[in-house]
Structures are given as structure tokens and as C-alpha cells.
């Protein structure tokens, strides 16, 4: 039996695996017990043992597979690799084959926008447009727009000095300025490609990225507006001064970056990057991918549709955006080809951990599927009667609060709810909304076990108590609002 064959009866299929460990509790109950113990072990290894999430996921995947009855051959294949399929290799390769290219291209695109000064131009122009009184709104829009191509932590590093400057000019609590920015960065990181979470979920659940982008915008915008409302209220209740030590550190980091650029031969022009170019580069992949998605719905098969779908393929769309950034923000503004290579290569170094964690999450999902656990979970959750949207949100939420990593919460939840979606034959738009529910759950209540919590606290000089009162609640508002919108929309698609 192929490890990926549909399982009509989890209880009947599990004993067919030879070479694995015998279940102490037979049938569906045994498979569910293995699933629960596997998740508990995963949380223990990450939270208590402080094991790296990639290693923890891989270890638990192997343990769960053996405990559920998969043989060593099914898990790892054979030396010749000609007669057996390896669940682990297929789970890793099948997942990374879809998302590695997207995350890699998106990361390089964000790095060029960052180093070229595009973020600073965006923020300063928006502050000028909205005025000092509406500077928090400008900060929020900066996070929302610049957060599309860059990772959350990179966005904080690049934009924090701008927040310091705006808060010093306004003379108010830094929370009024940093929280709207953080809401925008967090929303795009959770809901929109090319960020790892939504891209990984799309790959695991086989959803077109165009639908994920569309639903991410529709669910994310109301969520970020709700978060901005909370930020405006709490920013007036808690006064946090601008952290002078971080201002000085930011100035030093900026000087160091300029020195590194000088050594690498990067001599950017003195005049700022035109705002229109920044918007255009960010819009290129979003517009092309969405156009391809809608052409498959609105157009009959034709040469024109094939051309649109070609340019709207995520790989092609992001490559075109990257080439546009290379030319418009790099070569045209005095960069050498070596400088472009240096910045692009350096940007990929932090991505390795993300890709390994996502790939291991794919392995976990493949093991659940191959062993029959996923089918047992599907049957059990279906009998509970809760909508799949609610289940997806709650599972992701619990995993997020327990172990802190949004990526681990997303890939683990996607592996659990995937069989439910396959059994129900749901549409692409509905499945994209389920991804929004998973993503929303993965950002709920950021607290002390989340690296983002400490980054926010230290970068903006907020005490742990006030970070819990402001940032943790902000993330919960984003999470709940995004989920509610996704749930409501699910009744109409």
C-alpha cells in the first residue's frame, strides 16, 4: 500500500504496516493516542528541552510514525531507493519544492528594498502626507506596505529608527507609533505571501497563491484596522518614552551598514528612491499572481490566458519583481553587480532555519497521512460537529500559545486539517479562508515564549508588563478579527 493512498478506515489500515511498533491501544483510539502523545512530545521538546524546532519536528515525526505502525522502510526508504517510497523524504521534498523558491526570491526582494532605503522613503513620505498629528497612521501604513516583501524582524530593524524620530517629534508615548507599525508588519507576515506561514500552508493544502493573497487582503485589512484602534487607545493609557540607548544603537547600526556598503562598493545616489518605484516593485508580484488566478476563472483556455498564467506563476512573478528591483533600485542608482550579489546572498542566510522548520512540518504531515492518524483525526473532528474553520483556528491557537512559533503552529495545523479538507472536497477560495484561520490562530497572544515578544520589548524600550498589556493584546486583536472575517466569508464561498 502506498503511504499516501486514501485511507477509508484508519483502524483497519494501521495493522497492515509491518516492522513498526505495535499500538498498545488498537484501532482509531490507538492512532488518536499516538497523535496526542506526539503533539505533547513536540511541545515538551521545544518548550522544556529547548530543542531546535526543526530537530524537534523531525524527531517527533519519526517517533509518531514508528508508534503508529509504519515500518522503517516506509519511513526512510531502502538503500537502493528503487522499490519503496520514503515518507520522510517525500514529505520534506514535496513541501520545500513548492515554497523554497518563493521564500528565497521574496527574501532577496525584501533585502534590496531594505538596503536601498525604500523603507525610509516610504515612511517619511507618508508622515509628510498625513502630518504630525496623523503620524501613527503613517507608521501603520508603512508597516502594512513595507511588510509585504520583508520579514517581521527585518521590518522592525529597518523601521525602528523612523519610529524613534516620529515619537520624539510628537512627544507622546512610543506605543502610539510603534504599535500601528507592528500591526501592519504582523498582519502581512501572517496572512500574505511571500511570507513563510501562508506560503507553507498553501503548499501543504494545495491552494493557488492568488487565492491566498486575495483572502489575505480581505481578512487582513479589517484585522489591522481593529488593531490600529486598540493601539490608539492603549497608547494614550500607557506612556513609554523613546529609548535613548536604542536610538544611539540604531544610529551606530546605520553607520556600520553604510560602512559595509562602502566596502562592498555600493555607492547609492544621494537623492531618495522615488516612492512610485517602491510601490511598483511591491505591486508587481501581487498583481501578476492575482491576474493569473482570475484568468483561470474568467477566461476560456486560450493563448492570452496561457500568457497571463505564465507571468502570474509565483516563481515568474517574483523573479520579474526581483529583476525590476535589481535595475531600478540597484544598477540604475549606482550599484555594481557585485553589490547586488553580496546583498542577495547575505539575505538568504537567515532563511535556512525557516525552510528547515517548514520542511520538517511537511514531514510531520506526511507521517500523519501515511500512518492513518490523519484519517482518524479527520473522522474524530468530523464527529465533533465543529466547523473546520473553527477547528483549524483553535488547533493553531493552542499550538501557538503553547510553544511560541507561528511557523510551527501553521505547518503542524495544516498537516492535521489537510485530510478534513480533502474529504470535504472544498473549493480553493474556502481552503484559502481555512489558511487564513490557521494563520490567525498562529499569531494569537504573543508572550514570553515568542522571540517577537522580546524583540518588541527591547527595540522599543517597553517593560515586560507593558509589553503584555500592549503588544500581546494587539496580536490577539489581530488574530480574533482576522478569524472572524474569515469565518463570516466562509458562509458565502
CA-based torsion, 277, 282, 286, 288: positive or negative = positive
User: What confidence score (pLDDT) does residue 382 get?
Assistant: 67
- 80-104 pLDDT per residue, tens: 554 456 888 888 887 788 678 888 8
Confidence of residue 256 (pLDDT cuts 50, 70, 90): low
Q: What is the average pLDDT score of the chain? A: 84
Q: What one-character-per-residue DSSP string does 72-123 give?
A: HHHHH--SS-SS---HHHHHHHHHHHHHHHHHHHHHHHHHHHHHTTHHHHHH
- 469-493 pLDDT per residue, tens: 999 999 999 999 999 999 999 999 8
Confidence of residue 34 (pLDDT cuts 50, 70, 90): confident
Q: Which three cell numbers stand for residue 417?
A: 486539517
* Average of per-residue pLDDT across 51-58: 88
Whether the predicted pLDDT of 136 surpasses 90:
yes
Whether the predicted pLDDT of 18 surpasses 50:
no
Out of 226-240, 261-275, 333-347, pick the least confident.
261-275
Tell me which residue of 26, 13, 197 sits closest to 103, measured CA to CA.
Answer: 197
Whether the predicted pLDDT of 67 surpasses 80:
yes
User: What confidence score (pLDDT) does residue 13 get?
Assistant: 40
The percent of residues above 70 in pLDDT, for the chain, comes to: 87
Q: Which residue ranges make up each domain of the chain?
A: 25-92+355-489, 94-348
Rg from Cα positions in the chain: 23
Whether the predicted pLDDT of 143 surpasses 70:
yes
User: What confidence score (pLDDT) does residue 169 get?
Assistant: 84
Whether the predicted pLDDT of 443 surpasses 90:
yes
Q: What one-character-per-residue DSSP string does 429-457 give?
A: HHHHHHHHHHHHHTTTT--TTSHHHHHHH
User: What confidence score (pLDDT) does residue 260 get?
Assistant: 64
Residue 450 contacts residue 408 (beta carbons within 8 Å):
no
- Rounded to 5 degrees, what are φ and ψ at 22? -75, 140
Confidence of residue 284 (pLDDT cuts 50, 70, 90): very high
| Burial class for 48, CB neighbours closer than 10 Å (0-12, 13-18, 19+) | exposed
Residues 6+ away with beta carbon under 8 Å from 249? none
Residue 233 neighbours by CB distance under 10 Å: 9
The Cα angle at residue 330 between residues 328 and 336, in degrees rounded to 5: 140
Amino acid at each position: 500500500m502506498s503511504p499516501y493512498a486514501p485511507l477509508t478506515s484508519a483502524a483497519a489500515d494501521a495493522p497492515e504496516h509491518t516492522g513498526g511498533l505495535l499500538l498498545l491501544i488498537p484501532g482509531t483510539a490507538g492512532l488518536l493516542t499516538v497523535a496526542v502523545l506526539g503533539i505533547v512530545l513536540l511541545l515538551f521538546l521545544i518548550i522544556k528541552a529547548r530543542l531546535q524546532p526543526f530537530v524537534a519536528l523531525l524527531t517527533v515525526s519519526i517517533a509518531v510514525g514508528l508508534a503508529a505502525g509504519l515500518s522503517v522502510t516506509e519511513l526512510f526508504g531502502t538503500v537502493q531507493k528503487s522499490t519503496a517510497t520514503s515518507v520522510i523524504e517525500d514529505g520534506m521534498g514535496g513541501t520545500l519544492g513548492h515554497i523554497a523558491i518563493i521564500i528565497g526570491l521574496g527574501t532577496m526582494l525584501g533585502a534590496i528594498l531594505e538596503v536601498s532605503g525604500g523603507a525610509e522613503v516610504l515612511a517619511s513620505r507618508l508622515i509628510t502626507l498625513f502630518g504630525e498629528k496623523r503620524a501613527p497612521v503613517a507608521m501603520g501604513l508603512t508597516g502594512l506596505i513595507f511588510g509585504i516583501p520583508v520579514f517581521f524582524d527585518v521590518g522592525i530593524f529597518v523601521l525602528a529608527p523612523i519610529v524613534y524620530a516620529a515619537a520624539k517629534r510628537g512627544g507622546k508615548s512610543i506605543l502610539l507609533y510603534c504599535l500601528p507599525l507592528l500591526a501592519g508588519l504582523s498582519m502581512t507576515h501572517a496572512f500574505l505571501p511571500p511570507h513563510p506561514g501562508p506560503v507553507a500552508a498553501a503548499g501543504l493544502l494545495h491552494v493557488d497563491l492568488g487565492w491566498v493573497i486575495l483572502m489575505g487582503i480581505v481578512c487582513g485589512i479589517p484585522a489591522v484596522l481593529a488593531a490600529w484602534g486598540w493601539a490608539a487607545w492603549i497608547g494614550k493609557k500607557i506612556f513609554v518614552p523613546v529609548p535613548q540607548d536604542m536610538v544611539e544603537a540604531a544610529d551606530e547600526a546605520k553607520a556600520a551598514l553604510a560602512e559595509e556598503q562602502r566596502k562592498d562598493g555600493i555607492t547609492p545616489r544621494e537623492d531618495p528612491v522615488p516612492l512610485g518605484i517602491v510601490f511598483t516593485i511591491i505591486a508587481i508580484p501581487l498583481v501578476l499572481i492575482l491576474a493569473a488566478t482570475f484568468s483561470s476563472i474568467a477566461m476560456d483556455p486560450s493563448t492570452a490566458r496561457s500568457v497571463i498564467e505564465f507571468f502570474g506563476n509565483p516563481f515568474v512573478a517574483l523573479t520579474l519583481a526581483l529583476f525590476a528591483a535589481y535595475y531600478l533600485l540597484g544598477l540604475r542608482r549606482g550599484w555594481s553587480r557585485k553589490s547586488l550579489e553580496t546583498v542577495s546572498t547575505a539575505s538568504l542566510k537567515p532563511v535556512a532555519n525557516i525552510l528547515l522548520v517548514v520542511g520538517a512540518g511537511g514531514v510531520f504531515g506526511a507521517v500523519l497521512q501515511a500512518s492513518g492518524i490523519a484519517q482518524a483525526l479527520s473522522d474524530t473532528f468530523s464527529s465533533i460537529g465543529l466547523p473546520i474553520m473553527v477547528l483549524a483556528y483553535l488547533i493553531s491557537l493552542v499550538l501557538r500559545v503553547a510553544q511560541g512559533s507561528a511557523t510551527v503552529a501553521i505547518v503542524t495545523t495544516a498537516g492535521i486539517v489537510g485530510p478534513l479538507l480533502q474529504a470535504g472536497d472544498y473549493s480553493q477560495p474556502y481552503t484559502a479562508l481555512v489558511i487564513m484561520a490557521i494563520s490567525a490562530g498562529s499569531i494569537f497572544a504573543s508572550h514570553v515564549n515568542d522571540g517577537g515578544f522580546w524583540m518588541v520589548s527591547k527595540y522599543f524600550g517597553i517593560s515586560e508588563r507593558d509589553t503584555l498589556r500592549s503588544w500581546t493584546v494587539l496580536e490577539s486583536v489581530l488574530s480574533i478579527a482576522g478569524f472572524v472575517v474569515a469565518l463570516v466569508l466562509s458562509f458565502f464561498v
